[in-house]
Chain A
Amino acid sequence: NAGVMQNPRHLVRRRGQEARLRCSPMKGHSHVYWYRQLPEEGLKFMVYLQKENIIDESGMPKERFSAEFPKEGPSILRIQQVVRGDSAAYFCASSPTPRTGGGTQYFGPGTRLTVL
Chain B
Amino acid sequence: KNQVEQSPQSLIILEGKNCTLQCNYTVSPFSNLRWYKQDTGRGPVSLTIMTFSENTKSNGRYTATLDADTKQSSLHITASQLSDSASYICVVSAANNNAGNMLTFGGGTRLMVKP
Using a CB–CB cutoff of 8 Å, the interface residues on chain A facing chain B are 4, 6, 35, 41-45, 48, 55-56, 58, 91, 93, 98-102, 104-110
With A42-B89, A109-B43 given, is the CB distance from A48 to B100 under 8 Å? yes
Q: Decide: B44 and A107 in contact? CB cutoff 8 A.
A: yes
- CB-CB nearest in chain A for B107: A42
Which residues of chain B from 30 to 89 have a CB within 8 Å of any chain A CB? 31-32, 34, 36, 41-46, 49, 89
Interchain CA distance A41-B101 in the complex, whole Å: 22
B32 touches A91 (CB 8 A): no
Given contacts A41-B107, A42-B106, A44-B105, contact A58 B46 (CB under 8 A): no
Q: A48-B100, A55-B99 are in contact. List 9 more A-B contacts (CB 8 A).
A: A42-B4, A43-B44, A91-B43, A98-B100, A99-B102, A100-B95, A107-B44, A108-B43, A110-B41
> What are the residues of chain B within 8 A of A93 when measuring CB–CB?
43
Cβ A109 vs Cβ B46 within 8 A: no
Contact A104 B100 (CB under 8 A): no
Q: Name the one of A4, A58, A104 contacting B43, with C-beta atoms under 8 angstroms.
A: A4
Q: Are B34 and A110 in contact (CB-based, < 8 A)? A: no
Q: Which of the four size classes fits the interface of chain B?
A: 20 to 34
22 intermolecular pairs with C-beta atoms under 8 Å apart: A4-B43, A35-B105, A43-B44, A43-B89, A43-B105, A45-B103, A48-B99, A91-B43, A99-B101, A100-B95, A100-B101, A101-B101, A102-B31, A102-B93, A102-B95, A102-B101, A104-B49, A106-B46, A107-B45, A108-B43, A110-B41, A110-B43
Q: Which residues in B have some Cβ–Cβ distance to A below 8 Å?
A: 4, 31-32, 34, 36, 41-46, 49, 89, 93, 95, 99-103, 105-108
Chain B min CB distance to A9 (Å) = 9
Residues of B within 8 A of A4 (CB): 43
Residue with the greatest number of chain A CB neighbours at <10 A, chosen from B32, B43, B107: B43
Q: How far is the CB of B24 from chain A (nearest CB, A)?
A: 14
Give the chain A neighbours of B106 by CB distance below 8 A: 42
